[in-house]
Structure 1
Amino acid sequence: MGERKGQNKYYPPDYDPKKGGLNKFQGTHALRERARKIHLGIIIIRFEMPYNIWCDGCKNHIGMGVRYNAEKTKVGMYYSTPIYKFRMKCHLCDNHFEIQTDPGNLDYTILSGARRQENRWDPLQNEQVVPETKEVQKRLFDDAMYKLEHQAKDAKAAADAKPVLQKLFERNQSVWDDTYEANCRLRTEFRHQKKEIKGQQELDRQLLAKSSLDLTLLPETDQDRQMAALMKLQTKSAIERASEQRLDLLMRPALPGATATTFGGLKRQKILNSQLQLQDLGIRRKQVQSDQSADVASAPDKSEDGASVPEKSLSLVGEYSSSDNDSNS
């Protein structure tokens, strides 16, 4: 902006660079109307009221922060710091009031035309942190014992003020929290959650496609995982269930009224506990059938009285009853 203003200056045709800048050539000041009293040591500035005052002309209240076009004049020095006086006109009446800087007390002093609204308080009573005075600073530098006592008081005051400062910090953090950073964190977390949800939906889709089901799967919980683990330990495979069913059919008596066989009872329980394979059961059945066929071939066709003896049946009922009688005897 400043460069554009510098480049857009108008130079009249009779301008002579030897006379200096445009202000010197035209006989004007760079501050224009603000420097109309520059020959008296006065310039016009924009002054902001440092505190609340009461105007002596109209008796109206003028709040802190109200701005005026004030005449600024240098009236003295405080060591190497200049002291300035500001004269301005009330915007509600024709009264003028003057305010002067006070570098020694870091404050402003009203000289005339107004009075200050007294709403000041002792910062120590308000539990505010105030800088040390020059007398205290000098004594801290010279007296070691006073410095030690002062440090102990400062440590106690810091410990007492710590909870209050923590509450103020939390309040300011909640009020002045950066919404942009919070939004960035929230969007990052949302993106991670979205990726996890998409991955879980893909796994559910594959599971439903594999099982040929059309269901809505609920989210998995810890209780579901525990129950699935227990069911996995208690369930048996299809081969084991089929082998047990075949074993039950083999051990079942051929006739409804038959007594308990030697394969029942303790022996049957042992066979079930040992989990015999289907191949072993098939081999044993073949051996029993071969033994029975050999006995039938070696037996005579007729009895002693000449009656024909029927062929032995392949049923194992006779063996079951004989073995049962033997066991009972």
Structure 2
Amino acid sequence: MGERKGTNKYYPPDYDPKVGGLNKFLGTHALRERARKIHQGIIIIRFEMPYNIWCDGCKNHVGMGVRYNAEKTKVGMYYTTPVYQFKMKCHLCDNHYVIRADPANLDYVIISGARRQENRWDPTQNGQVVPETKETQKRLFDDSMFKLEHGSEDKSTSESAKPRLAKLFNRNEETWSDSYTANQKLRAEFRRKNCEQKGLEEKSRTLSKKSSLDIPLLEENEEDNRIARLLSMKPAKTSEENSVEIRARIVSECLLPSANFSRKRETVAVKILESDKPNLGVVLKRRPTAEEEADVKKAKTNVSLVGDYSSSGDSDC
């Protein structure tokens, strides 16, 4: 587009062909604004993001295919191939990405400003068709025996993959045979998830407003609740656990409370009774105290014997 702007059919009256082209006569570059830093070795180009990234500035996701006006700079050579570096500004914040081409691995490397979202895997592990390396291609061209063996291996791989491919094909046909019903189910699922997401956002917004918080809130989970209880030193229990504990305490309590009753004595007594040969121990007779002996003597002296005839003077004889 820049070249088209410089090439037009209008020539001003004072144009002198001896000066050169029209751009040289006007003192402009064919790329116009895109060449404003060409004296620094920088050209502004339209760069397309080669893969998904995460911005280090705003922590947002930038998808593959998003286009930026990037500053293109030559930073080196890989044999006879130039290595270019691209610098661009995030469209969501003031952060800048710096991405460099990697001709050796046919890839792009992030130098600063972002990190790559890892979606790479080994294609040989999921049955994908992998292009042959240059060494293999060379051997296929030069070695007839290797070519024959390689062809037989490809045929065996194809035969073993046919049942799996047929199963996948039939499954796809069953799922998408009625495109209207499948689309309806997907849209219903998307609407349900969208309503749940809006409900969570509204709840988070209400809680943030109530607590005067200006930070994004994440969803609750059981692990966070457990750690919060441990930090507050107040381990909470569920209603079921509380019910079980209260029931066990009621069952273990004595109906007739005694001053000498305790949970420890109850546990010891239950162990003795549940044993095969309960050892009840030796019963020892307690020695009475001096006050108890005096009370016994006093009681003996005050006893009156009914029918004691020796004290009476009358006689039937």
Q: TM-score, normalised by structure 1?
A: 0.46
Bigger Rg, which one: 1
Structure with the bigger RCO (C-alpha within 8 Å, sep 6+) is 1
Q: TM-score, normalised by structure 2?
A: 0.47
